[in-house]
Amino acid sequence: MIPGILGKKIGMTQVFRADGQVVPVTVLKAGPCVVVQRKTPTVDGYDAVQVGLVEGIKPQRLTKPALGHTKKAGADGVRYLKEFRLKSGDEDLKPGDRILVDQFKPNEKVDVIGTSKGRGFAGVVKRHHFRGGPATHGSMFHRAPGSIGASSFPSRVFPGMKMGGHMGASQVTVRNLEIVEVDTEDNLLVVKGAVPGPNGSYVVVRRAKQ
């Protein structure tokens, strides 16, 4: 059993089940992937496999170290790399092995990891869902954050205080999404629900923990 696969988010749509139920789904272009490197406990201290997404990237778009690293495994056209930890029961993969979407089945549960959309600088109302102050009657407190701490003691702002700042563009994991359909011809994986990131962004699909 493979631990996961890499892919790209295509977009959202909806499908109908056999009983007529409408299901919102996200379509993912998953694979084909190739194993670039195998990490072993004796050499690297842990058991994992490094997987690359085959996209047909031109060699001149890669750095020389990256090009030499992928050529060792015969993984031409690979730029996006991720590691999957291996556990007992997982397939014994070696460099050059291919990982395809047909190794997933409908009704399986997967975790999808992606980078959320960047929203730039956001205030506390948008970023942390603060209510804000009254909107009328001469109020001068609308979308301000309010007090962030006492002045005499402790005379500092505690770490983790909810304030305005950079919003989005962070790693998000959505767990236990159901696989609705698997298209082996076009390497498509259709999962129920939403997936983080804009269309065309990279995602990691790993098997959910049982």
pLDDT digits (tens, 9 = 90+) for 79-94: 888 998 888 766 778 8
Does residue 154 sit within a domain? no
CATH classification at residue 196? 2.40.30.10
75 lies in the same domain as 123: no
Does residue 47 sit within a domain? yes
Q: What confidence tier does 176 reach under pLDDT thresholds 50, 70, 90? A: very high
Look at 160 and 2; give whichever has higher pLDDT. 160
72 lies in the same domain as 112: yes
**Structural domain tally of the chain?**
2
As a residue count, the chain comes to: 210
89 lies in the same domain as 22: yes
30 lies in the same domain as 102: yes
So what's the pLDDT on residue 197? 92
198 lies in the same domain as 130: no
Instruction: For the chain, state the CA radius of gyration.
Output: 22
Q: How many CB atoms lie within 10 A of CB 95?
A: 16
Q: What confidence tier does 40 reach under pLDDT thresholds 50, 70, 90? A: confident
- pTM summary value: 0.82
Q: What confidence tier does 209 reach under pLDDT thresholds 50, 70, 90? A: confident
So what's the pLDDT on residue 170? 93
57 lies in the same domain as 101: yes
Domain residue limits at 90:
4-118+172-207
pLDDT above 90 covers a percentage of the chain that reads: 47
85 lies in the same domain as 182: yes
138 lies in the same domain as 68: no
pLDDT, mean over the chain: 89
Instruction: Name the one residue in this structure whose structure tokens are 């407190």.
Output: 141
Cα 161 from Cα 128, distance rounded (Å): 11
**DSSP per-residue string spanning 17-71:** -TTS-EEEEEEEEE--EEEEEEE-TTTTSS-EEEEEEE----GGGS-HHHHHHHH
Q: Mean pLDDT, to the nearest integer, of 184-199?
A: 91
